[in-house]
Amino acid sequence: MEVHISPLGGVIQRLLVPDAEGKLEDVVLGFDDMALYTGDGSFYFGAVVGRVANRIAKGVFNLEGRQYKLATNNGPNALHGGKRGFDKVIWQGARISHPEGDALRLTYTSKDGEEGYPGTLIATVTYIMTREGMLKVIFEATTDKQTPVNIVQHSYFNLAGHASGSALDHTLYINGDHYTPLDETAVPTGEIVSVVGTPFDFTEEHSIRESIGQVPGGYDHNYVLFGMGRQAKFIVKNGAASNMPKLAAKLRDPKSGRCLKVLTTAPGMQFYTANYVDGVHGKGGAVYNKHAGICLETQAFPNAVNEHAFPSVILGPGERYRHEVDYQFSNA
């Protein structure tokens, strides 16, 4: 395996993974020209997103008796940290020694007031390519004021190869039996609903194509992981539902045999089927269309800063945010 990471946005630009015969394919969508990652048409391909990933309703939240207003860059809502979120800044990178394999640590200081958020946040992302062929991503952060934090990796996977067309024939298992329904602006309503008997049920592995036609617009929904169900306000300390990563999802391409297991410490995962990608010119002359990739973004729940029944995303001074996601590849 081989991974290419850019200091711009912490982007996973290429991820080369062998099939059963050892043939390498790049399995993430992206661009050859790094300048394209900074524009509105970047689709956050492969990027680190934050300070708060996903949507905040109406770009407003209250904290410690004060109202904070953010840029509304997704209809009426704030999305993925604002107009210049973590995906569009330069991170300081350094190779580090790590017992599990090759490792890179990226660091970014988000100043008090940046994109409307309180507190100076010092964030790090550590990428580790283990000798067993697992790509580990560890997000950490500290702050000098109370602030919401939800830092996420936003890669689009196509296990047949980034240029192979639709990924809807991939099969998917999700270790989550509840999800958070959306309002008309794609913000969670605050409800936590069972997937049983709905097209959101991936507790038994099946093809994405089999059920996507029953979901208007396609999948772009947060799943409650690890059987937490209606007890969503379980103990989540500084971004983690557990200390050790647990299986969140399994994605499989029947043609190549490549299989991706996603393990995480986060309480939620956004399953997104690239519904808005259309005629995007990507790497090597590839053209990405609707459903060209699958996002499995482990995260805190969207709009949690305004939904007090959801696990908290507030980080305070003296605390450390930590969120780990591991991408384990195999052939099966």
Name the 3-class secondary structure at 121: strand
Active site residue 297: yes
- Nearest of 157, 91, 85 to residue 126 by alpha carbon: 91
Active site residue 21: no
Provide the 8-state DSSP code for 279: S
Tokens of 31: 């661009």
Residue that the structure tokens 């390498």 belong to: 24
Q: Which of 297, 307, 323, 324 is catalytic?
A: 297
Instruction: Give the strand pairing for 47-49 and 152-154.
Output: antiparallel
Tokens of 185: 């602006």
Residue 331 CB coordination number (10 Å): 15
Contact 226, 185 (CB under 8 A): no
Name the 3-class secondary structure at 294: strand
- Nearest of 61, 58, 53 to residue 72 by alpha carbon: 58
Q: Which of 154, 162, 170, 323 is catalytic?
A: 154
- Where in the sequence numbering do the catalytic residues fall? 154, 297
